Amino acid sequence: MNDDLLIFSNEDQPSGLNLAPWSILVVDDDHDIHLSTALVLKNVQLLGRPIVLTHAYSAHEAFELLLKHHDFAIILLDVVMENDFAGLDLVAKIRGILGLKEIRIILRTGQPGHAPEPGIFNLHDINDYRLKTELTSNRLITALSSALRSYEQICAISANRRGLEMIVHAESQLMECTQFSDFCQVILVNAAKIFDRSCTGFVATLTGLPPTPQDFGACSPQLVAESLELLRTRPAYSVNHCFDLHEAWLFLQAGLDQAVIYLRFDLPLNEFINIGQIASVFAANTSACLGHLRQLERLNYLAYHDELTGLGNRTWFIDQLGQSLSALRPPHAVAILDLCRFADINDGLGYEAGNALLCSFAKRLQQHFADSETLLARLGNDVFGLFGPLTLVNPDSLFELFKPPLQALQHTIPVQISVGIRAINGEHVNGLQLLEQANIALNLAKSKPHPRWASFSPAMEANTRWRHEVIRQLRLAFQSNILQVWYQPQIDLNTKAICGMEALLRWPGEVGFIQSPAVFIPLAEYSGLIVEMGEWVMDESCRAYKELSSLPHSPERVAVNVSMPQFRTGNLLERVRAILAKHDLPGSALELEITESIAMDEPENVRSTLLGLREIGVQIAIDDFGTGYSSLGQLRALPIDCLKIDKSFVDDIDADKSGLYVEMIVGLAQRLGLSTVAEGVETQRQAERLQHLGCTIAQGYFYAKPMPLATLKEWLMTRQAN
C-alpha cells in the first residue's frame, strides 16, 4: 500500500489553532478489536489533531448512528458481522441511502476469503482493505493517516465548490478545442477564474530539448520577453507541482506528452485556502483534456494522412483538390501513379523492404516537387496521387523521374510505374470526379505495354459506366437463376465416339443472348462474382453428368473452366471434393480447364491445388494452349493431362504456319504423354487434317453446337439411333 499523498508547502496549518479532533467510527462485532483499537490510538494525534472514537457493535447499530451523526471522518468497518455481507451492505447504504461521500472507509476482516471484488472498491469509494492480523499499530496509524489526508482533501474540495465549478467549466471548453494553441489560450483565460485572482502566464510543451518559441502554445503579452528564460530555468518536473507566494508551475502529463502551465499572480497565494487541492484537480483535469486533444490530433492526422509515408491520404487529396479548383489557372492535371509489381517485391523481399520502397518512392516525389505547389498523396497500397501544373505533372516527366532505381533498405530496386492522367482545362468538376476519372485512365494504362499511361477522355467514363451496368445486370441474372449451363460434345477423332463434353456458361435473353461469354466472363472475374458462379457451374455440370450417365454412350467426363480468383480462395480443392461427393461421382468424371496465364500467374499456388486435384482423380487441361506466354519448364512441373488447341490455329490449319503450330502442339503433347483437344472444328477437312496430325479429340460446330441439357439428351438419343 502506498500511503504517500501530494502535500503542498502552503497547506501547512498555522500553529496554535485549537483544531477539532478527528471523529472515527469503529464498527466490529468483536469487543477485543474495539479495545485494541482504542489502546493503539490512545493519546495519538494524526495530522496535528487528536482522535475521538465512537463504537458500534453491528452494522445495524452503525447505521442508526450515521442517521444522526454525519461528522465522522473515517469508519473502521468489519466486513463479516451479522452475516457475511453486513459490512458491504452498510457501505452501500452509506454511499447510496445516506449519500455520505466524504467519509473514508477502511474495511477490516479476520477472514481472508471474504475480500470484496475489485470493482466494489471503485463502486463504493472504499479507501482501504486490510486483514486484522496485518494491522499492527504502525500500519493502523499509517492507514488512518492516509485516509485522513484523503478526507481532508475531499472536504477542502467540497468547500471550494466554486473553484471546482470553474474547473468543470474550463474542462468543457478544453474538450471542445481541436488546436493546441486554442487549448492553451483557454487555460490562461480560465486560470484567473479558478484561482480567483488575476494572473499572467504561459503554457508550453516539454520536449526534453532546450526550449524554443515553437514550444509555446499561448503566452501572455506581458511575459513574451522573458518566457524563454523562465521556461529554461523552470523547476524540475514534479507531480507535486511548485508554488511560492506569487507563482505556480503546474505540470501536465498525458501519456508520453508533457506540458507545463506557468502562472504569475497579482495577489499572494497564501491568502487562498486549499490552493494545493484546487491546483492538483485543475492539473489532473487539464492533463486528461490534453490527452483527449492529443488523441483528437492523432485521429485527425490519421484521418487525413498516410502514417507510413507522411503524405496526405485519399480523403485529404480529394478535399485539397476541391479547394484548389476554385483558384485554378489551367492547364493543370491530376495524375495517379501505380507502382508496378509491388506485390512481387513484398513477396520476394518482405514487407519491411516493401514499406521502405514506398517511403523511398514518396520521398523522391517530395524532393522533386518540393519547390512547386503540387499536391502529393498516397491513395492506396502502391498508388500515389499528384495534382499540379501540366508542365510538371505529365507522363514524360514522371517516367523520367523514376528512371533511376530506388533504395529500399539494402536493396537497389528499379521500378516501373503506370500513370493515369486527367488534364483540367476549366471544366466544372469536383475533386472526387477528377480522382475517379484519373483512376479510369490508370486502369486503361495498366492494360498497355510499357511505358504504360493513358489520358482520360469522356468515352472512357462511358465505357466504365457500361461495364458496371453489365456487372449489375449479371449479378441480378445470376441471383435470379437466369444464367444457364450449356454443353458441347467432344468427339474421339479415331473412334468418332463421344468421349466428353465441355460446360459453357450462357446468358440467355428473350431473343438470343444478353451478352457473349467473351464479355461477361472477364467482368465476372473483375467483380469477384466468378467465384460463386464458377462453383455453381461445376455443381450444375456434375448434376448433368450424373443425369446423362444412364444413357447409352454417355460422355466419359465433363470439362469445366476454372478461373484464377477460384484458386485464390484457397478452398478450390475442398469445394471440388464436396461437389463430387454430393453427386456421388468419381474424380475421373471431372476435367478442369485452366488457361496458360493462370498456370503462370501464381505457379506455386496453382501447382499445389492441381496436385491435390490430381490425387482425387480429377483431370487437368490447359485451355487455349499456344495463345499465352507459358514456360515449357513451368508447364512440365504442372500435373496436366490434356492440351486444348485454340480455335485460331484450327481456323487456318491448312496455312503453313498454323498447320506447323498444330503439329508442334500435338508433338509436344505426345512426348509428354498428354491428350489433345482441338476447339472450333467446323469442317470435315479440318477434322481430317487434325486426325492426320495426331490430334486425339475434337469439338466444334462440325459435330455439334453448345446446347442446353435437354437438347443434349435429344442429340445423344438421335445420334445413338443413327
Q: What is the pLDDT of residues 47-65, one digit of tens each?
A: 888 999 999 999 999 999 9
Cell 487555460: give the residue: 187
Q: Is the pLDDT of residue 703 over 90?
A: yes
How far is residue 263's CA from residue 258's CA, in Å, rounded to a whole number?
A: 17
| Predicted TM-score (pTM) above 0.85 | no
Compute the average pLDDT of residues 197-203: 92
Q: 22 Cβ partners below 8 Å, 6+ apart?
A: 46, 47, 49, 50, 51, 52, 73, 74, 148
What pLDDT does residue 9 have?
37
Specify the DSSP class assigned to residue 687. H
How far is residue 441's CA from residue 130's CA, in Å, rounded to a whole number?
A: 74
- pLDDT interval class at 631 (50, 70, 90): low
3-state secondary structure 176-240: CCCCHHHHHHHHHHHHHHHCCCCEEEEEEEECCCCCCHHHEEEECHHHCCCHHHHHHCCCCCCCC
Compute the average pLDDT of residues 627-643: 76
Residues 232-250: pLDDT tens digits?
Answer: 999 888 777 888 878 899 9
How far is residue 681's CA from residue 647's CA, in Å, rounded to a whole number?
A: 7
How far is residue 662's CA from residue 493's CA, in Å, rounded to a whole number?
A: 15
How far is residue 231's CA from residue 213's CA, in Å, rounded to a whole number?
A: 10
Q: Is the pLDDT of residue 159 over 60?
A: no
Q: What share of the chain is helix, strand, coil (3-state, %, to 5)?
A: 50, 20, 30
Ordered structural domains, the chain, with CATH: 19-159 (3.40.50.2300), 161-302 (3.30.450.40), 314-456 (3.30.70.270), 490-501+537-717 (3.20.20.450)
147-151, 480-484, 514-518, 594-598: which is most confident: 480-484
What pLDDT does residue 558 have?
97
Q: Is the pLDDT of residue 276 over 90?
A: no
Distances (CA, A) of 569 to 45, 347, 478, 537: 77, 18, 20, 17
How far is residue 166's CA from residue 603's CA, in Å, rounded to a whole number?
A: 70
* Range with the poorest average pLDDT among 147-156, 265-274, 532-541: 265-274
Q: Is the dihedral of CA 178, 180, 181, 184 positive or negative?
A: positive
What pLDDT does residue 614 have?
93
Residues 549-564: pLDDT tens digits?
Answer: 988 889 999 999 999 9
- pLDDT interval class at 427 (50, 70, 90): confident
Residues 257-275: pLDDT tens digits?
Answer: 899 999 999 877 654 456 7
Contact between 639 and 611 (Cβ < 8 Å): yes
Residues 354-387: pLDDT tens digits?
Answer: 999 999 999 999 999 988 889 999 999 999 999 9
pLDDT above 90 covers what percent of the chain?
53
What pLDDT does residue 656 have?
61
Mean pLDDT of the chain: 87
* Range with the poorest average pLDDT among 181-195, 256-270, 463-477: 256-270
What pLDDT does residue 628 have?
64
3-state secondary structure 516-578: CHHHHHHHHHHHCHHHHHHHHHHHHHHHHHHHHCCCCCCCCCEEEECCHHHHHCCCHHHHHHH
First to last CA, the chain: 101
The residue with greater pLDDT, 413 or 152, is 413
What pLDDT does residue 273 have?
53
Q: Is the pLDDT of residue 679 over 70?
A: yes
Name the amino acid, one letter, at 608: S
How far is residue 468's CA from residue 329's CA, in Å, rounded to a whole number?
A: 34
Compute the average pLDDT of residues 331-346: 90
What pLDDT does residue 123 have?
80
What pLDDT does residue 166 have?
85
Q: 415 Cβ partners below 8 Å, 6+ apart?
A: 339, 340, 357, 361, 402, 405, 406
How far is residue 412's CA from residue 143's CA, in Å, rounded to a whole number?
A: 66
How far is residue 415's CA from residue 585's CA, in Å, rounded to a whole number?
A: 50
- pLDDT interval class at 326 (50, 70, 90): confident
Q: Is the pLDDT of residue 167 over 50?
A: yes
Contact between 190 and 170 (Cβ < 8 Å): yes
CA 110, 113, 117: angle at the middle one, nearest 5?
Answer: 110
What pLDDT does residue 630 have?
59
- pLDDT interval class at 1 (50, 70, 90): very low
